[in-house]
Amino acid sequence: MTLTEAPGRATTDGSRATAYPPSAAPRRTWPIVAAAATTVVLWASAFVGIRFAGHDYSPGAMALGRMLAASAALTLFVVVTRRIRAPYAAPSPHRVAVPRGGTLGLIALWGVAWFGGYNVALNAAERLVDAGTAALLVAVAPILVAIAATLVLGERLTGRLGVGVTIAFVGVALIAVGGFTGHADPVGVALAVLSAVLYAFGVLLQKRLLARVDAVTVTWLGALAGTAALLPFAPTLLTEFTAAPLPATLGVLFLGVFPTAIGFLTWGYVLSHWTAGRTTAATYLVPPVTVLLSWTLLGEVPAPLALLGGVLCLAGVIFATRR
C-alpha cells in the first residue's frame, strides 16, 4: 500500500488495526466532504477564539488549557467508542491498542510539534495581528504541503490541483492586499509564518502515520504528547485561571473540545481518505470563514478586496478537490 492510498486497514507494529472499515471502498464522497467542512468551520472559529481568550490568557497558558480540555475529550471518546465496539470485535491475542517503538515516538513528535509548538506560536502571533491576518498567513501551509508532498510522499501534483492552488493563492493575496483594521506587526507575522511551517510539517508527518495507525489513535496520543510538552506552563495557567473572567475560560475550553478534539478527529478522517495535497487545499476555506467570523463576532471588518479574495479561495478549493 502506498502512502497516497487511504488505509482501509492500518498496520501497527505487526498487528492489524482497523483505521476505517474496508467497506468504505468504494467510498461515498459526502461523508468526507462533510468531515472536511466541519474541520474548516471549527478551525476558523479557533482563530477567533484565540483572539477572544488572548486578552486574559498568555500564549503558553492558553495552549495548555486548550490541550487539557482536548485530551480529556479525546480520552473520553476513545474509552466510550472502544467499549461500544468491544462486544463486536473479533477476539485476538495479538491486538495492540497502543503503537510502540518508533511509531509511538513519531506520534509524540507530531503531537509536540502541532499541538504544542503550533498552538503556542499561533497564540503569540494573534496577540499582535488580528484573526483574519493570522489565518491568511497560516494559509501558506497548504502550498508548502502540496509541494513537499510531491517530494516527500511521492504524490503527483496534478494539473487540477495545481490550478486550484494557484487560484486560491491569488485569493489569499487579494485578502492580504485588501487588509484589515488591525496592524500587521512584523513579529506577529513571523510567528504566524512559524505556525505555518509547523502546520506543514505536522500534515506531512501525520500522513505517514496514518498509513500505520488509525486516525483516532494518532490524534489521541498526539494530543497527550502535546499536553505533556506544555506542562511547564501549568503554574502560569493556574495563576491566570484565578483572575480570568468566565467567558475567557469558556473560550479556552471551547478551543480544546471543538477546534482541537472534534476538528482533529474529522481532519484525520479526511486525511486518511484524501491525499495530503488535496486535503490541505480544502483548508484554503479557513481564511474566508475566519474573516466572516471575525467580522461578525470581533468587529474586524475586511476591505472589499478581502471579500473578493475569499470568493477566489472558495473557487480554488472547489476546483482543486473536485474529482
Give the pLDDT confidence score for residue 106 in this predicted structure. Answer: 96
Average pLDDT over residues 135-144: 78
Dist CA 128 CA 57 (whole Å): 14
Give pLDDT, residue 321. 61
**Which residue matches cell numbers 511551517?**
197
d(CA 184, CA 129): 5
Write down the H helix ranges in the chain: 29-53, 59-85, 101-111, 119-125, 131-138, 141-148, 159-178, 186-209, 215-229, 234-243, 246-255, 263-271, 276-282, 286-298, 304-321
Q: Which pLDDT tens digit goes with each residue over 232-274?
A: 999 999 999 999 999 999 999 999 999 999 998 998 888 888 8
Amino acid at 209: L
Of residues 86 and 50, more confidently modeled? 50
Q: What is the reported pLDDT for 243?
A: 97
Q: What is the pLDDT of residue 7?
A: 37
Task: Give pLDDT tens digits for 65-112.
Answer: 999 999 999 999 999 988 886 655 554 443 435 788 899 999 999 999
Mean pLDDT within 114-134: 92
DSSP letter, residue 285: G
Positive or negative CA dihedral for 138, 150, 104, 219? positive
Cα–Cα distance measured from residue 52 to residue 23, given in angstroms and rounded to the nearest whole number: 43
Across 276-298, average pLDDT: 83
